[in-house]
Amino acid sequence: MADDLVIRQLTDPAELDVVAPLWKALQAHHVSLGSIDLPARDPEDSWRVRRGIYEHGLAEGAWLWVAERAGEPVGYAFVSRAGEWASWQAGPLVGLETLVVAPGERGAGIGERLLQTAKDGARSEGYTHLQVGYIEGNVRAAAFYERAGFTPVERVLGMAL
Amino acid sequence: MADFTIARLDPAEVDRAEPLWNALREHHELTLPELGPARSREESWGMRRSRYAEWLTEPSAFALIATTSDGRDVGYCVVTDLGAETTFANDRVGCLETIAVHPDARRLGVGSALLTEARRQAAHEGLPELTITVFSGNASALGFYAHHGFVEYLKVLRAPNPAG
C-alpha cells in the first residue's frame, strides 16, 4: 500500500500551499484535544501564520519533506535547525516542528518513513539530536514518539494572563 | 538580607545576571546529569548572554532583577515574546526564558516575587499568556509553577540521531 509512496523535499516557498489541507487537519486535531484552554485560531488564519513560519524556516535552511501518492500530498514533516542548550554540551539539534499524516492514511507507516527521512537529512548535516513536542493529551503522538526512541526532556507549562 | 526589591534590568547591564546564571548552570549540572556533560562557565554564559541581547531588543521583552537592601543581586528573570501561535488565536506569547535565584537566597520568596512581577509586567505589555519550559526531571520546579497556576501545555521529547 505504501509502495507507491514518494517522499520529496519541498524547497520552493511558492509551493507551500500544497500542504495547507494537511496542516488544517492537524490544527483541527490539536484543537479537538481540548487540553489547552485558549481560543482556537480560524483554520485559514492558522495556515496563514503557519505558512509564514515555514517560509521563514525554508529561508534559514529548514527541511520540508512531503510524502505523496500519485502526486497527492498525504503527509509532511517540517524540520528546523534549532539552537543548543546553554547548560549542556549536547547538540546540535533539529526540531521536528510538524509531522502530520492525512487522517485516511494513518497506520500505513508514512509517519515512520517521514521521520526516518527527517533524521537522515539532519544527520547528513551533522545534527546529532532531534527534538519534538506534542500537546498534552495527544496519546497517539506520545505512543508514536516513544516507539521511535524519543525520551521526555522538558515540559512546556502555560497560563492565560 | 530578607528585604529585596525587584526592578527592570537594563539590557546594557545584563552582565549583572552572570553569577546568577552560573549558579543555575551548576544546579542543572548537579540535578540533571542525564542530559550529558555540562558546558564550561564561560561558554555557557557567553551563549546565554548573546541570546538575552537578541531577545531583549523585542519591544515587549524585559528582564527583572531582585536586589537586597544591602545591594546584592539575588535573582533575575527574562521574559520574551514568541510571536503568534498557529493553533490558538493569540498573536503574542510571553515566554519566561529564565528564572534564577541565588542558592544563598532560596526560600525567601525571591522566585515567587519575580514570577508575580513578571506576570504583572507581561500583562501590562499586552502579552495574553505566559509559558515556561521546565526540565521533566525537575520536580521542585514543576511543583512551584503548578502552585502558581501554570498548567501543562506540551511535552518535549528528544532522540539521539548519531552519525554512522
Name the residue with higher pLDDT: B5 or B37. B5
Residue B96 has pLDDT above 60, yes or no: yes
Residue A107 three-state SS: coil
Of the pLDDT bands very low, low, confident and very high (cuts 50, 70, 90), residue B57 is very high
* Contact across the interface for B160 and A49, Cβ inside 8 Å: no
Contact B52/B63 with Cβ under 8 angstroms? yes
> Using one digit for the tens of pLDDT, what is the confidence trace for A105-124?
998 999 999 999 999 999 99
Nearest-CB residue to A36 (from B29, B51, B153): B153
φ and ψ of B130, to 5 deg: -130, 130
One digit per residue, pLDDT tens: chain A, 161 residues?
546 899 999 999 999 999 999 999 999 999 999 888 889 999 999 999 999 999 999 999 999 999 999 999 999 999 999 877 777 776 688 999 999 999 999 989 999 999 999 999 999 998 989 999 999 999 999 999 999 999 999 999 999 99
Contact A95/B159 with Cβ under 8 angstroms? no
- pLDDT at position B36 is 79
- pLDDT at position B38 is 87
Count other C-beta atoms under 10 Å from residue A19's C-beta.
23
Contact B62/B79 with Cβ under 8 angstroms? yes
* Contact across the interface for B94 and A161, Cβ inside 8 Å: yes
B4-147, superfamily in CATH?
Gcn5-related N-acetyltransferase (GNAT) (3.40.630.30)
- pLDDT at position B29 is 86
Fold for A2-147, please state it.
Aminopeptidase (3.40.630)
Residue A84's region, left for phi above 0, alpha for psi from -120 to 50, else beta, is: beta
Each domain of chain B, given as residue ranges in start order, spans 4-147
> Using one digit for the tens of pLDDT, what is the confidence trace for B99-122?
999 999 988 999 999 999 999 999
* Contact across the interface for A159 and B127, Cβ inside 8 Å: no
Q: Name the residue among B28, B107, B35, B101 with its Cα closest to residue B65.
A: B101
- pLDDT at position B67 is 97
Element (H, E) at B143: helix B139-147
Minimal CA separation from A112 to chain B, in Å: 14
Nearest-CB residue to B87 (from A41, A90, A157): A41
- pLDDT at position B164 is 61
Residue bearing cell 490558538: B88
Q: What is the ipTM of this complex?
A: 0.92
* Contact across the interface for A130 and B159, Cβ inside 8 Å: yes
- Chain B residues whose CB is inside 8 A of the A87 CB are 24-25, 28-29, 35, 38-39, 44
Each domain of chain A, given as residue ranges in start order, spans 2-147
